[in-house]
Structure 1
Amino acid sequence: MLIMHAEHETDRPVLAAITGERRTLLMDAGNSPGHAELFRQELAKRGIKPPELLVLTHWHWDHSFGLSAWQAPVIAHEGTAEALAGLSGRSWSDEDLAELVLAGILSEESVQHIRLEYGESREITVMKPDIVFSSNIAIDLGGVTCELSHVGGDHSADSCFLYIREDNVLFLGDALGPSIYGGPRRYSSTGFLKLLGLAYGYNAQWYVESHGVPMSLAEFRADLAPWERLARIVDVFGHNRERVVLELKDYLQLEELPADLLQGVEYFMAGSK
């Protein structure tokens, strides 16, 4: 297995190549052909053959706009296929991007990243998947089984987990992230806890979020513990922000909450209204 880490300047997510005895599978396509080419070069350096299959964790541009650079059948959830079909044939001009923001399909932040990644020419080809599933699909690479399962969530309704059974590695995509399109970022406390329960249920050795770094199970649980507690507090006290902050401070034994958790409070407040 080869993982290329995320780059935040133009919102490039983690890419991964999983190799079995018969074939190699790529997780996510990259946010552009340029991003895809960098990973292709890394594969070549390590003697890993180009992927024969590609899976998408969800439709968002940073995970799918590199599809045109890969010559492999693409497997994705039916919601991913529908979203990408709706984006095909667009001009990606400044006016077009503004229209997509107005429609709640992209955010201003995503538009800024697209401009940085593609420049002024913005030659973007949106590809649709070749194989579509509705719930889950298992892919045998030869001694290595990849399980792609639809989990949904606030970030994107088509979000999927990819579990590498023999390696005991769970790729979470962005499923645990807040919604980022169509208004202020928001979390549903109940939905977040459900997804977290699903993730913990794998009892994986390694957990990989698309814009983070790989973590052991112990590291992942420690990293998510304050967020889990925050979600449980919101489940009880709803949009009572003052009480939520007070309860979280008490749990963490802090006088002031760190900036990321304060931001998280606002996400959950937006999701509880």
Structure 2
Amino acid sequence: MSRFEQISEHIHIMHAEHETDRPILAHIRGSRKSLLMDAGNSPQHAAQFQEYLQEQGLPKPDYLVLTHWHWDHTFGLPAWDVPVMAQRITAQTLRSLADLEWSDAVLRRLSDEGVISDRTISDMKGEYGDIADMRVIVPDLLFADGLDIDLGGVTCSVEHVGGDHAEDSCFLYVKEDKTLFLGDALGPSVYGGPFSYTPAHFLRLISKAYSYGAEIYVESHGVPTKRQAFHDDIGRWEQFARIVERFGEDPDAVSRGMCDYLQTESLPDEFQSAMDYFMAELRRKPDGIVK
């Protein structure tokens, strides 16, 4: 069942739903304009948030900004008749998908090419009654490094940060509410091979996230987290990435180092999965093939 919440004075969200990979959507309201963060993974997803906004007496968004191009954040665009802001790579990638006639054969080809994954195909089919109904909208307001949006007493700063998950990943910071939307930027790569993390990319993104001084952190497939809880949790992952940097392609040494840090006998499952992601990247050849 869909869940909605006002997380700060100016921000309402629709929580993530994992069954068909629906990310968080956010409505940010100023005194003059309103902004929507991400479009949803389908018009049906978008319509549920639209119904909530109407029930709350919140205005239709004047702008929509995308955190990155992945389908779960963008395929809901046909439901939003508003100007769309996006990083240039986001627009370029969506443009390459816009003229496709969606079918099982097209999905299989895109998966074989590493553009999407088998998990994506499953989620798309779960979200859409007929995948032929899928439509891709190309953003019309593009930026390279970032932009500031004045909504009237509320300033939203969008910054291109990149990373393993998607090279076009962006953060969105709502200054007055001290709320940082991280999108999926802290996640591993999910397309084009095994999931993978680059320690240097991960550590850079964590440092960037800390630099905003936010009080609320929001990852698109997580839940809004207060500053101390976020720092406590992400601090463990930061340490793990540093241990991987130190020991490289030696999973046993990495495991021992992290167990020493956590003061545990064995490496927890969540870190074992991340170990696989880090090792996959370290073993990747220059041509992109994993050793």
**TM-score w.r.t. structure 1 length?**
0.99
Per-residue deviation at 1:12? 0.2
Matched, 1:6 2:16: yes
Q: Which residue of 2 aligns with 1:154?
A: 164
Counterpart amino acid of residue 24 in structure 1: S
Task: Pick one of 141, 152, 173 that aligns with 2:183.
Answer: 173
Bigger mean CA deviation after superposition, 112-121 or 1-10: 112-121
Matched, 1:100 2:110: yes
Distance 1:227 1:265 in 2: 11
C-alpha deviations, 1:193-246, integer Å up to 9, x for none?
Answer: 000000011110100000000001111111112211110001111111110011
Counterpart amino acid of residue 167 in structure 2: A
Q: Percent identity?
A: 52
Give the RMSD, CA atoms, in angstroms. Answer: 0.7
Distance 2:59 2:259 in 1: 51
Distance 2:130 2:66 in 1: 27
Distance 1:120 1:48 in 2: 31
C-alpha deviations, 1:146-177, integer Å up to 9, x for none?
Answer: 00100000000000000001111000000000
Count of aligned positions: 273
The SS at the match of 1:180 is coil
Q: Which residue of 1 aligns with 2:73?
A: 63
Counterpart amino acid of residue 225 in structure 1: G
Per-residue deviation at 1:122? 3.5
The SS at the match of 1:184 is coil
Task: Pick one of 31, 40, 43 that aligns with 1:30.
Answer: 40
Tell me, yes or no, if the aligned pair for 1:115 and 1:122 is still in contact at 8 Å.
no
Distance 1:193 1:123 in 2: 40
Per-residue deviation at 1:49? 1.0
Question: What does 1:42-191 correspond to in 2, within 5 Å?
Answer: 42-191=52-201
Q: Which residue of 2 aligns with 1:17?
A: 27
Distance 2:46 2:268 in 1: 35
Distance 2:69 2:136 in 1: 10
Unaligned runs of 5+ in 2: 1-10, 284-291
Counterpart amino acid of residue 149 in structure 2: I
Distance 1:235 1:186 in 2: 14
Per-residue deviation at 1:121? 4.5
Task: Pick one of 197, 201, 213 that aligns with 2:223.
Answer: 213
Unaligned runs of 5+ in 1: none
Distance 1:126 1:15 in 2: 18
C-alpha deviations, 1:16-58, integer Å up to 9, x for none?
Answer: 0000001110000000000000000010110001111000000
The SS at the match of 1:198 is helix
Counterpart amino acid of residue 175 in structure 1: A
Q: Which residue of 1 aligns with 2:234?
A: 224
Tell me, yes or no, if the aligned pair for 1:18 and 1:24 is still in contact at 8 Å.
yes
Distance 2:61 2:269 in 1: 40
Distance 1:186 1:95 in 2: 27
Distance 2:64 2:279 in 1: 37
Counterpart amino acid of residue 86 in structure 2: A
Instruction: Quickly say closer, same or farther: Cα 1:105–1:121, change in 2 above 3 A.
Output: closer
The SS at the match of 2:133 is coil
Q: Which residue of 1 aligns with 2:4?
A: none
**TM-score w.r.t. structure 2 length?**
0.93
Distance 2:235 2:215 in 1: 17
Per-residue deviation at 1:119? 2.5
Distance 1:60 1:149 in 2: 17
Tell me, yes or no, if the aligned pair for 1:26 and 1:51 is still in contact at 8 Å.
yes
Tell me, yes or no, if the aligned pair for 1:189 and 1:272 is still in contact at 8 Å.
no
Tell me, yes or no, if the aligned pair for 1:19 and 1:141 is still in contact at 8 Å.
yes
